[in-house]
Amino acid sequence: MAKKSHFQVLKENKKPLSKAERDVVMKAKAVWHHGPNGEKTPAVWKSEINGKPVYVTNTHRAYQDAPTVKGAISKFHKTIKGTA
C-alpha cells in the first residue's frame, strides 16, 4: 500500500472554516472566483492533523499550509496566487 502524501492527508481531514475564519479570508481578498456566476469563494481551507488546525491554500500546481489562517492568507498572496 502506497504511503499517502501530506496533501492527501490534509484533503481527507478537511473541516469547514468558521464564520470568523471565513470573514478574515474574504476581507483579506484571499479569494478565487469559483462560485456560481463567478462569485468570490475563499482560497484558504482548513484541515486537522493530530487535533490541530492546519490552514491550506492551493492550486492544481502547488499548495502551502500554515498553522494560522493569517499565515495561509500570506502564503496565498505571496506564492499560490501566482501559480493559478
pLDDT in tens, the chain (84 residues): 678 999 999 999 999 999 999 999 999 999 999 888 889 999 999 999 999 999 999 999 999 999 999 999 999 999 999 888
Domain residue ranges in the chain: 15-83
Contact 55, 16 (CB under 8 A): no
Cα separation, 84 vs 32, in Å, equals 10
